[in-house]
Structure 1
Amino acid sequence: MDNWLAHEKSAFINFRRYLPDPKEHGFRWVDIKQLRFSVESVDDRGLLTALIGHEQFRDDYAGGGVLPEGLRHGPYWLRLITPDLYEPISQEKAAQILREWVDPLWEVSTELEADLQREFFARLAAADGIFYLSELGDEAVHDWGRVHDCFHEFVLIDRSAGRITLIVAADD
């Protein structure tokens, strides 16, 4: 499936960069992986299946990066993640989830707001389909998966651009 789903680029927003004192709470970040797809006839479920099977999905988000033969995805065992676990949500709900995760800590700086606008909210506005990975439960958490305090995962599908974007927002 990888032949029609290709990694295009990635971005990483480390909140530590925006804090007056990085020791306050610098282990909060947003990771964005953008992939291009070339098959227009694939439905959303097929795109989610291809994304889950793609090497860029094999990331434990704990500092090791993408592991082509990896067994973990974030806090979860990769083998337990299926397209059915992604809930379709509205643009408003996705924005609310991210805002509630970001805002309680401090007043968001102008620079962080600009980066979030460019990397998350602009992509969210362009998406035809928005999916949110539901909580998988304790049985799906891998051996050291509790390193993440919060783990939010969004998949944005933009058919007009032929792009699927995987966005993970987490604390560790």
Structure 2
Amino acid sequence: MAARTFVNFRHHDFSEPSAHGYRWVDVRSFGIPRGAQDGELLTALVAHEQFRDDYAGGGVDPGGIRHGPYWLRHVTAHAYREVGKAEALSTIRDWVDQYGPVPESLEEALASQVFDAVDSATSCYRLRDLGSRAFHDWGGVHADFHEYVAVDRERALVKLVVAADD
């Protein structure tokens, strides 16, 4: 099983909790074999049992057919595009700050668990918007859904970072 960190905004003291309460970031870490190319890593990640998660409370379904808002069959290694770390960090930062400043406790958790995962990556990929045709039967439930794959060759890890709301 992959190592997992879940940062739930609801567990932090907000002055206006309604704007922040149903947002979270899920980070799953996977070891990588020496010498594997990024395309091979993306293919292995998509095939992994832990990838079969709709991120809407059901958790991982080993026989699952959904990933986030999409039917799993639409999410392939080719559904990811390489992005710079600065772009990934900026998108996540904008998403975090969209309702204003966050409590220091949440900022610390995000810095150590999320921003570090992306910042330490040697390459980073973002799941493209696959469009509403790729949505599964209730796939539009998330107002925001951001997914990155951070490949960290120095630590021999791939981190799947999903930031969303529900």
- From 4, 16, 20, the equivalent of 1:10 is 4
Match of 1:97 in 2: 91
Q: Superposed, which structure 2 residues align to 1:4-43 within 5 Å? A: 7-18=1-12, 19-20=14-15, 22-37=17-32, 39-43=33-37
CA deviation vs aligned residue, 1:45-88 (integer Å, no higher than 9, x gap): 00000000000000000001000000000000001111111111
Among candidates 121, 134, 138, match of residue 140 of structure 1: 134
Q: Secondary structure at the match of 1:146?
A: coil
User: 1:23 offset after TM fit, Å?
Assistant: 3.9
Aligned residues: 165
Q: Percent identity?
A: 45
The answer on 1:56 being equivalent to 2:50 is yes
Q: Identify the residue that residue 151 of structure 2 maps to in structure 1.
A: 157
* Matches of 1:63 and 1:28, distance apart in 2: 12
Deviation above 3 Å: which 4+ runs of structure 1? Answer: 20-25
Contact kept in structure 1, 2:6 and 2:24, CA below 8 Å: yes
What pairs up with 1:74-93 in 2 under 5 angstroms?
Answer: 74-93=68-87
Matches of 1:21 and 1:32, distance apart in 2: 25
Give, in whole Å, the separation in 2 of the partners of 1:8 and 1:69.
Answer: 17
In 2, the alpha carbon distance for the partners of 1:161 and 1:99 equals 24
Mapped to 2, the partners of 1:46 and 1:25 lie a distance apart of: 36
The residue type paired with residue 24 of structure 2 is W
Residues 77-103 of structure 1: per-residue CA shift (max 9 Å, x gap): 001111111111111101110011111
Unaligned runs of 5+ in 1: 1-6
Structure 1 vs Structure 2 CA RMSD: 1.2
Q: CA deviation at 1:41?
A: 1.8
Question: Which residue in the other structure is 1:117 paired with?
Answer: 111
Q: TM-score, normalised by structure 1?
A: 0.92
TM-score by length of 2: 0.95
